[in-house]
Structure 1
Amino acid sequence: MIISSNLGVKLVVPTAESKLSQNSPLVNYALNGLERCWLPEHRRWSHIYHLDGRSSPNESVPNSDVFYTLNVLLGMSRVAGIPSGIDLPEIFRRNVLLLTTLPVRKYAFGMALWTAAELGTPIPEPVKSELRAILVDESGWRCFRAQDLGMLLTGVVAQARAGENEWVRYAKPLYRFLKERFQSETGLFFDAPFGLRRRFSSFATQTYLSIACYQYGEFAGDASALVMADTCVRNLIALQGPQGEWPWFFDAQSGRVIDFYEVYSVHQYGMAPALLEWAERFGRRGSRDALVKGFNWVFGDNQLGRAMLVPELNLTLRSQVRKGELTTKAPRVLRALKNAWLGNGERLIDGADVEVRLECRSYELGWILWSFGRRTDLQELTHNCAFGGA
């Protein structure tokens, strides 16, 4: 838009359309989808957008909304053109303060550190105070799950990179705890530092801890962290499904897949690309091909031959799941235990026994923004005709 100033000089003021034109079609697809997940009365994005035709598709779960919102803001930190009306610092402050009043997991505080660093936004003192309490209490780390530790270490490193030196002293102890209690001989990561549950790890386990190791290794110049991350990525690529599926459940003790399902779209187009971007930088062979193959699963190169996109809403379908397991995890738990006990590796089942979970979660779109907000080298994905690209 061109306007005239009092001095008679024409000024060019960027319009919303011109800002968005700086983005790839994939990024704008995700931004448009996030508009549907927005809860204006709360100034945050929703827990679930249901795709089953109900009249009120947005479902709010406050503690999840807040975490997902921080994840979306992290993604937006990498986007060139943000839609008008989105005040990133204001949304961050409003939501991050709720971490001290809502029942959130420790990883939400790690996401707060990471997001604040990427946005260049200060963390309110009440949140800082609670973060210090979490990080000082090393005995409490015994209760951490992988996502807690991975996000806290990534957040601490991100803050240190941004010049917030008060967090630097926590990085080495967190990494040492990761190395001592979460590293397995197979190269996959455990999900917890102690207990019978620790060997049963998810794709998220591998992603968050590997990213943390890459971040810490580069920041601290610690080669052991980079080797750990690279070893995990190498193993994940070896275990990727024939059509690019990223398995959901692993036995870290044996290094096997013990259940492929659910196959989550966010892993295919968001979290795996976030991890593989690091792997590419450090020369892991096959990482780029694995990224593209995994993303093509979303376009329909999957068991169902179905695109996991909802173009009319600019949303995505959450996952492909075994029939009969949409509302219960019990069969999955029993199957994992049996496969681990018997030493079985799991394979994909017949597509006739697979169905789709009809929902989209806002953080999933946030991971698209983070993984592709700055990428210009994968136009077969970012400018695919599925997103309105050429």
Structure 2
Amino acid sequence: MTDTAPVSSVHRNRAPDRTGDRRSRIEAVDVETASRVRHLGALARRGLAGMYSGIDFPQTMRAVRTPSGTALHPEGHSPRYTAIAALGIGRLPTDIQRHILRGGTADDLVTSVLATAHDHHDTGVLALALWAAGEVRGSADPQVLEELRRRCTSGEPMLTVDCAWALTAAVSVRDRADTDDLIVLLTERLLAAQGPGGLFPHSLSSGPRHRIRDMKQIGRHHVGSFADQVYPLQALARTADAVGDTDALEAANATASRICAVQGSTGQWWWHYDSRTRSAARSVVERYPVYSVHQHAMAPMALFDLRECGGDDHIAAVESGVDWLFTHPESSADLVCDDRNVVWRKVGRREPRKAVRSLSAVTTAARPGLVLPGLDRAFPPGPVDNECRPYELGWLLYAWHPGSDAGESDA
């Protein structure tokens, strides 16, 4: 763990209640960013209404060419994204929920997700379902909790994101179920995996006996995505608030400090990081794509949680990240598409699929911070990915909780 600035005191032995403080988030940022966030919130409400199937949410909405022009086409189904949509929509007044969900509510979505999660192979689905049950309906599904507990205590390797979601879920139902042992276990697992610069790898080993079985992973086991930083940051901040764990708060501060230190000059939250290095200058493995959801939702969500749980204040970084959506220098194409009620997914490179990430993972595995010269010239950023996933809009609503403007008409 790197040294961090002194932290504020935390509230001990108290489950967090963010329904009030989230209402001030838009007011906490500058006037221009606040206006943009209100714009995005209204778009998200309309966008989710258009994505809802009447039962759940798709994996993505993709722009496709048709004989009559370009149209948004739903692809797949996703219980993960449905759970995240429930968390976001659950922050809104009931009448707005019914407008988005064709007469239903976020509680109805949670019922659907829990039914799916009971025998689901994906640990992330279990964690998100329990988290949504705790926050949206104020309950802890015993079957989902016990299956999640079994997987978390099995000693098997876990994805970092799944571990973080499980910890947040355990905190969210702490006043309705005995999850303190699970909170301690998952907190210790995240803290053990955190690198000296505050960053996390993509997966958490089960201990010294764990071996990487997939040869493709050998060259990039040190690499963690932006999601691998944000969700542990959020989970550790909430844990600190719930149980008074100052080590968790210090760890969350360290992660936030590092991702903010390497944030792009126009607000970009970069894609992949080297979890081994102490040096900020050597932390970024690959910058692109820059994902819109990182800018408008995931970074604000985690950094505001940290601030509200007694951690450091990174509002300037939040503002810069949101503003990038509207001022991005990489492309002249709009990312915020009001005509279709979406925010396009990302700005990437002109490259074969993930070529630069693969090259950068190999070079940084050989030596931290080693970057092949000329990559930006050979594979310049610019192409916009014309798809939008429901979780992106769900997290947007969850992160900002529109509050007083949530009742405005979206028609």
Q: TM-score band (shorter)? A: 0.7 to 0.9
Q: 1:36 aligned to 2:47?
A: no
Which whole-Å CA distance do the structure 1 matches of 2:289 and 2:303 have between them? 21
- Which digits, 9 at most, give the CA deviation of each residue in 1:367-390, with x for residues without a partner? 1100111467xx9xx9xxxx99xx
Q: 1:336 aligned to 2:361?
A: yes
Which whole-Å CA distance do the structure 2 matches of 1:129 and 1:353 have between them? 45
Is the contact made by 1:37 and 1:362 (CA closer than 8 Å) also made in structure 2? yes
Pick aligned residue for 2:159 from 128, 134, 145? 145
Q: Residue 66 of structure 1 aligns with which residue?
A: 79
Which whole-Å CA distance do the structure 2 matches of 1:373 and 1:46 have between them? 23
Is the contact made by 1:185 and 1:253 (CA closer than 8 Å) also made in structure 2? yes
Q: Residue 175 of structure 1 aligns with which residue?
A: 187
RMSD between superposed Cα atoms in Å: 2.7
TM-score (norm 1): 0.81
> Where does the alignment leave 5 or more consecutive residues of structure 1 unmatched?
1-22
Deviation at 1:52, TM superposition (A): 3.4
> Are residues 261 and 24 of structure 1, via their aligned partners in 2, closer, same or farther at CA, if it must alter by over 3 Å?
closer
Which whole-Å CA distance do the structure 2 matches of 1:123 and 1:223 have between them? 26
Deviation at 1:278, TM superposition (A): 2.2
Deviation at 1:124, TM superposition (A): 4.6
Q: Residue 97 of structure 2 aligns with which residue?
A: 82
> Are residues 121 and 158 of structure 1, via their aligned partners in 2, closer, same or farther at CA, if it must alter by over 3 Å?
closer
> Are residues 77 and 168 of structure 1, via their aligned partners in 2, closer, same or farther at CA, if it must alter by over 3 Å?
farther
- Which digits, 9 at most, give the CA deviation of each residue in 1:109-131, with x for residues without a partner? 11112111111254555434422
Which whole-Å CA distance do the structure 1 matches of 2:238 and 2:90 have between them? 17
Which whole-Å CA distance do the structure 2 matches of 1:352 and 1:74 have between them? 36
User: Which residue identity is paired with 1:110?
Assistant: A
User: Which residue identity is paired with 1:77?
Assistant: G
User: Which residue identity is paired with 2:177?
Assistant: N
Pick aligned residue for 1:100 from 118, 127, 133? 118
> Where does the alignment leave 5 or more consecutive residues of structure 2 unmatched?
1-36, 206-211, 213-217
Which whole-Å CA distance do the structure 2 matches of 1:268 and 1:134 have between them? 32
Secondary structure at 2:348's aligned position in 1? Answer: strand
Deviation at 1:101, TM superposition (A): 4.2
Q: 1:356 aligned to 2:384?
A: yes
User: Which residue identity is paired with 2:135?
Assistant: E
Q: Residue 57 of structure 1 aligns with which residue?
A: 72
Is the contact made by 1:217 and 1:225 (CA closer than 8 Å) also made in structure 2? yes
Pick aligned residue for 1:280 from 307, 323, 327? 307
> Are residues 199 and 265 of structure 1, via their aligned partners in 2, closer, same or farther at CA, if it must alter by over 3 Å?
same
Pick aligned residue for 2:326 from 296, 299, 304? 299
User: Which residue identity is paired with 1:176?
Assistant: E
TM-score (norm 2): 0.77
Which whole-Å CA distance do the structure 2 matches of 1:24 and 1:242 have between them? 24
Is the contact made by 1:47 and 1:362 (CA closer than 8 Å) also made in structure 2? yes
Deviation at 1:354, TM superposition (A): 2.3
Q: 1:205 aligned to 2:223?
A: no
Is the contact made by 2:64 and 2:73 (CA closer than 8 Å) also made in structure 1? no
